Amino acid sequence: MPSRVKRGWKVLDNAAAKRVLVTGSSGRIGRAVSAELLRRGHHVRGFDLAPTPELTDMVVGTLTDAWAVESAMRDRDAVIHLAATPDDGDFLNDIVPNNIVGVYHIFEAARAAGVQRLILASTTQLVWYEIQKDAGTIRTDTQPTPRYWYAASKSFLEGAGRAFAEKFGMSVLAVRLGWCPRTRAQIDEIRTLAWAQDGYLSPGDAGRFFACALEAAEPTKYAVVYAASKPVRRPLYDLEPAARLLGFEPHDQWPQGADAVTS
């Protein structure tokens, strides 16, 4: 009989533990995700520009280094791809190398290594102009209205995910993440925007979301879901697909978890 390991509220069979690669593991979401997966008994390997303190299995490298990506991908069951240049990066110097070329390296290395599940961090900036209308809950099938180049690069990510799901039969989940602030300035900005409070994603909920995505029964080939905490006024994003496919229900509400940001 397989032994059982208790990780917080979750009890996981060791036989069911996943060998997962978390790219961007040293970022604000990456550290929360890695910590939650470790608590649940999964085998986590990190990949980032700098070591992740909580991880003993770590590859330090860049998404533009195909060899480093291939090394990190070996013997993994699944990939949670969080690493990317954020929306304030330069397009030609940063976004193209990391969010376009880097996605190519991640996908091709995963295919070559026989990885069957890709969980991809996309962005709610893909529906930016729907957000600004403040007219109702935004569904996963809402026509994309990307904010700018960063969001356009995430359109590429989602399109590549759909292509790999169809062509190679991989299980691919594109996750449009709510606003998980990186700085105190972003926290102050969220305080002034009602829609941002409805679209907030706490680090704790981010960790729980990706754990649910890893542990859930595989979605049919390809799916898009939103990840956000509980809204303050009304649901900004349709979280029903995440609940139905993954069993994820948010725990937090703005500003819970925001005090974890110190910079």
Q: Which pLDDT band holds residue 10 (cuts at 50, 70, 90)?
A: very low
d(CA 4, CA 155): 40
Q: Are strands 10-13 and 4-7 parallel, antiparallel or unpaired?
A: antiparallel
Q: What is the CATH number of the domain that holds 10?
A: 3.40.50.720
Domain total for the chain?
1
Least confident of 5-14, 127-136, 251-260: 5-14
Q: What is the pLDDT of residues 207-235, one digit of tens each?
A: 999 999 999 987 669 999 999 999 999 99
Task: Look at the block and give the residue holding tokens 């925007």.
Answer: 193
- The answer to whether the peptide bond before residue 255 is cis (omega within 30 degrees of 0) is yes
Q: Which residue range is the domain that position 39 belongs to? A: 4-260
Q: Which pLDDT band holds residue 1 (cuts at 50, 70, 90)?
A: very low
